[in-house]
Amino acid sequence: MILWVCTFGLLSFPAFAEILRIATYNTELARNGPGLLLRDIAGGKDAQIDAVVAVLVHTQADIVVVQGFDYDLTGAALAAFAKLLDAQGLRYPHQFALRPNTGMPTGQDMDGDGRLGGPRDAQGYGAFSGQGGMAVLSRYPVARDAVRDFSGLLWADLPGATLPRTDAGPFPDAKAQAAQRLSSTAHWVVPIDVPQVGRVTLLTYHATPPVFDGPEDRNGQRNADETRFWQVYLDGAFGPAPSDRFVLLGDANLDPAAGDGHKHVMRQLLDDPRLTDTAPTSAGAAATGDTTDTADWDDPYPGNLRADYVLPSADWTVTDSGVVWPAHPDPMADAVVRASRHHLVWVDLAW
């Protein structure tokens, strides 16, 4: 049900407005083996799962994309998780997930370490197929027949792709690069039919961290191109793209000003006139670093960074936004820390 919010303090809007709340949240619920996430959800005694549920119930988003959530073919873990939320009064009757690239075998030495079959030899890092995938939870129907899944796009087929090289040539070799997909997890275009609004299109992804590599900068270059994909897509390189009522969201693992990675790529995305960057803040981030940080990593390195984004298209009216990262003594502060190093980012949209 669309949130009906009294807009005290928002004097430029009517006394009541229809608000659509959209969020992204890297839950970091990935487990070390297939079926273990479902086991832990069903067991009902996992403190991290309880904390993630508490954060989602607190936020009450109409649509949320979650990362770090293990994929299984039947959707059993996602359905069980939605049932947990439903028991707390947060109902998501529509759940969506596709097989991600994480843990997908390639049969090749993709990281150049001279060994086969490791988690870095998969299309995207993963100890098993589907580890740390993505999912959409929605109050409203997903237009499944209109979904576009770009997860199979080869990195080399991205216009302007920057593929890793060393003095010896393509890294790790030309054969591996010819098989390497761009998406470390997934790139999805997911239309959702929202009553009284119409079709709202999610552009969502989870990029690889731009670290854990060598001087060839394989992960750094891939992270940059995973984010740059969206501007190429919006430019029409892969067919018609939405021009209005869309939201680009996910875990970019890229801060526009700090940390590792090609920061200028994120700055270019945030400056794109087709998007609105609300630069949401939180009390927790303000107490520990930059007010717009969304991830709380070890100090001093990499430290807190802005890694997670919800960027609505410019035609929306943004009424509010935020990061669920309260400071003590807020009663949610402990749950947020137990849940994930990432913090949920949300935006409220009116039309």
pLDDT in tens, 10-58: 333 333 358 999 999 999 999 999 999 999 999 999 999 999 999 999 9
199, 226, 205: which is closest to 145 by C-alpha? 199
Percent with pLDDT over 70 in the chain = 95
Nearest to 259, CA basis, from 216, 235, 226, 292 = 292
Asked whether the predicted pLDDT for residue 1 surpasses 80, the reply is: no
- When pLDDT is averaged across residues 88-101 and rounded to a whole number, the result is 98
> What letter would DSSP give residue 245?
S
How does DSSP assign 81-106, residue by residue?
Answer: HHHHHHHTT----EEE----SBT---
* Amino acid sitting at position 312: P
Mean pLDDT of 112-120: 95
Q: What is the pLDDT of residue 87?
A: 98
Compute the average pLDDT of residues 335-348. 98
Q: How far is CA 8 from CA 11, 27, 52, in A?
A: 7, 31, 29
| pLDDT of amino acid 297 | 87
In the chain, which residue ranges form alpha helices assigned H by DSSP? 36-43, 47-59, 76-87, 174-179, 218-234, 263-270, 283-288, 333-339
Average pLDDT in the chain:
94
Predicted confidence at residue 17, as pLDDT, reads 54
pLDDT class for 120, splitting at 50, 70, 90?
A: very high
Per-residue pLDDT tens over the stretch 310-327 = 999 999 999 999 999 999
β-pairing verdict for 198-206 and 246-251: parallel
pLDDT at 62 over 50: yes
> Is the whole-model pTM more than 0.85?
yes
pLDDT at position 4:
42
Contact 340, 294 (CB under 8 A): no
